[in-house]
Each structure stands twice: as structure tokens, then as C-alpha cells.
Amino acid sequence: IYIFVYKARPSKVRALSLFSSSGPSNWSKVVSDAEKIVGYPTSFMSLRCLLSDELSNVAVNVRKLVGTRHPLLSTARGFVYDNRNNLQMRGVIVLLMSKAAGPSHAASDALVQDMVSGIYPSQRNLAEITELIHTAFLVHRGIVNLKEWTVSDGPLKDMQFGNKMAVLSGDFLLANACTGLAKLDNTKVVELISSAIGDLVQGIYYESPSYTEVNVCITWEEQSFLSHGALLAKSCQAAMELANHDKEAQRLAYKYGKHLSLGHRLNSDLQPFVKSSVGEPVSFSLSAAPVVFHRQIVGEKRWRQQLQQAKTGGNQLDYSKILAAVKSEKGMSSAVDLCCYHGNKALEAIQTFPSSEARSALENIASAVTKC
């Protein structure tokens, strides 16, 4: 499958093989190269937070969950080793956007002198805050619904303990982020990031089965922006505000963050559908983009029939049957087309920024969204 994305100049386009692993750089390499441009890796940048007594106690207690299936354990492992470099993506992009835009014409000489590697200290703090907020919500997502608990998940008391740890550690990270946000001393930035936290909460609510079963008023794109795009989009805009850039620069930074996030989400949703082989066990969310688009194409009545046909004797879903149904229609191609669209829009947003190493890195990241 081939799509077209903008190159350095808007007048030129080039074809990229979607989800190709044979391209010049994979996702991990693109993010690693970007980290070198901004000075250091941003995953869990807040060492003040990480080395605190509170989180040290959390780390010790999380070890008690070894042997259970509590999601907090896998989340903690992801912080230590994430081979796809997804955790630090948001912080890296905020720093790259800051460096690509550079100082504004309204910035004083004294303010410019504070820059390190072309980035203001306040922008680095913002990237750290963005990471902490994202991580806090990842931890909170690890809370288990104990009504669905089974013996195979592990002892009930351990699952209850894991839930307490997920709530407390997530709250701790979020509190640190809010404290850092207040120290930026910029009312507009506080409003932007606070609204992004609200968007995250709303988006996660829309993801819940109890909502999706009774309400289809919100589109996949709207829900995905709330739960996956708002934080990065508004953080990129806030980075421009901290450097006193005008509204147009803020709008373009927001646009890049929004479209990149949606493209990245589409890419993740498509992975089980493009990499699965016949006979292999497969698992994916029924809220994944290809499934949602397939559901819209075939209609609610036929979708219910397909779900019923995919159920096994134990009333469990045979995901291979759903996979085959989705591939038989245009739900998957619709997701691919939308991934292409958002990748192009992200690239388009930064073409007015000065040509630089940072802008090239942003372009590479946007291109890698369609290849990783």
C-alpha cells in the first residue's frame, strides 16, 4: 500500500510504503535521532520525581504484584523497557517543536540568552510536565475492574492492592505535573494544559463499554483526539506561547500535534490487521479504527450478526473471525486512508517553520507514523 506525504517543500511529494520495515529508518531510530537533537532522552525526564521517596516506595510495592496479571505490572515494565519508544514521544516532540520554531521576534535578548540548544528552560519543563501527565494516565488506566476478576488473574487481595497502587502513584505523578505547571507562571499555558487533562478524562470515559454501547454520537476521530491527541496538540501550542510566538505559530504547532497523534493512533490500531497471518492468534480492541469504520460500513444489524457468529462455545469472541470480516470490507482501507491524511496534514503544518535539523526530525517522525 502506498501513500503520499510532503517532503521538505510543499511542492514536492514522495511515496512511502505503509508499515514497511525496509524504509531508511524505523520508529525507534527516528525517535532516538530526535532525542540527540534536543539534548537528551525525555522518557521519565523528571528525575526529581523518580528518585523521590514516594515513588521508591511504590516501586518496592509493585514487586508484590509479580505473578499476577495486574496491568500495573506491565505498565511498570514498559517504563523500564519500551522498544518502540512510545513513552517519550510526546516530550521529544514538544522539545523539537520548540527548537524548530526558535525564539520569537518579540523575545528579549535576556530571554534568548537563557536558551540551551535552542530551547528555553520553561519549554523543557513543559515537555517534562507533558510526560508526567501522560504517564499518570497510563498508570490510572491500569486499574482493574474487580467485578471481572477471575482466579487466574491472581489473588484478589493482590489485585485490590494493585488498584490502590495505581490510584496513588498516578495521583502522585499528576500532582507533580500540576505543581510544575503552576511554576511556569503563564496563565494561558495553565489553561491549555488543564483543558488537555479534562479532554483526557472525557476521552477515556467515551472509551468505556458502558458508553459506547448506548451512545454513538461521538465519532472515532473526536474520541481519539480527546484521549490521544489533545495533550500533545495543546502542549505544542503551549511551547509556542512560552516563547512569545504569535497566534499563527501556535495554530500550526497545535495542528502538527493533533494530526501526528491521530496518525500515530491509526497506525497502532492497524498493526494487528496488517501483521497477522492466517492461523495465528490475534487480539485487538473492538474500538480500533478499522473495526469502528467496518461497523459504520456494514451497519449495526449486520455487525451484531458478525459478532454473534464470532462467539465460541464459552461465549468468548473468536477474534480471527472478526479480523476476517473487517478485512473483507473497506474498514481497513478507510483507516489506511485516514492515516495518510493525518500524516500529510502534520507535515503540511510545519512547512512554514525555518529549515533546520529540528524541523527535519519532526518531518521524519510524521513520516515514520506511516511506516513503524
Indicate which CATH number applies to the domain containing 149. 1.10.600.10
Are 233 and 265 in contact by the 8 Å Cβ rule? The answer is no
Q: List the domain range (segments joined by +) for residue 57.
A: 25-370
Is 67 a domain residue?
yes
Range in 42-51, 323-332, 342-351 with the lowest mean pLDDT: 42-51
Residue 20: what pLDDT? 40
Are 258 and 233 in contact by the 8 Å Cβ rule? The answer is yes
Average pLDDT of the chain is: 78
For residues 269 and 260, give the distance between their C-alpha atoms in angstroms, rounded to a whole number.
14
Range in 29-43, 69-83, 116-130, 220-234 with the lowest mean pLDDT: 69-83
Is 63 a domain residue?
yes
| Domain count of the fold of the chain | 1
Residue 116: what pLDDT? 80
Residue 176: what pLDDT? 85
All residues at 6 or more sequence positions from 14 whose CB lies less than 8 Å from its CB, including other chains: 4, 5, 7
Are 371 and 17 in contact by the 8 Å Cβ rule? The answer is yes
> How many Cβ atoms sit within 10 Å of the Cβ of residue 284?
18
Mean pLDDT of 113-142: 86
Alpha helix stretches (DSSP H) within the chain:
27-38, 47-50, 53-62, 71-80, 89-101, 109-113, 121-140, 156-183, 187-207, 209-212, 220-224, 230-242, 247-275, 289-298, 300-309, 319-328, 331-349, 357-368
**Residue 17, helix vs strand vs coil:** strand
Residue 28: what pLDDT? 73
Choose between 68 and 327: higher pLDDT. 327
For residues 8 and 365, give the distance between their C-alpha atoms in angstroms, rounded to a whole number.
13
The H-or-E segment that residue 2 falls in is strand 2-6
Is 324 a domain residue?
yes
The 10s digit of each residue's pLDDT in 252-282 is: 999 999 999 999 999 989 988 887 665 566 7
Residue 229: what pLDDT? 93
DSSP 8-state symbol, 279: T
Are 19 and 370 in contact by the 8 Å Cβ rule? The answer is yes
User: Is pLDDT at 93 greater than 70 in this prediction?
Assistant: yes
Choose between 229 and 368: higher pLDDT. 229
The 10s digit of each residue's pLDDT in 131-147 is: 889 888 888 887 777 77
Is 319 a domain residue?
yes
Is 6 a domain residue?
no
Q: pLDDT band at 67, cuts 50/70/90? A: low
Of 219, 245, 253, 247, the residue nearest 346 (C-alpha): 253
Is 9 a domain residue?
no
User: Is pLDDT at 1 greater than 80 in this prediction?
Assistant: no
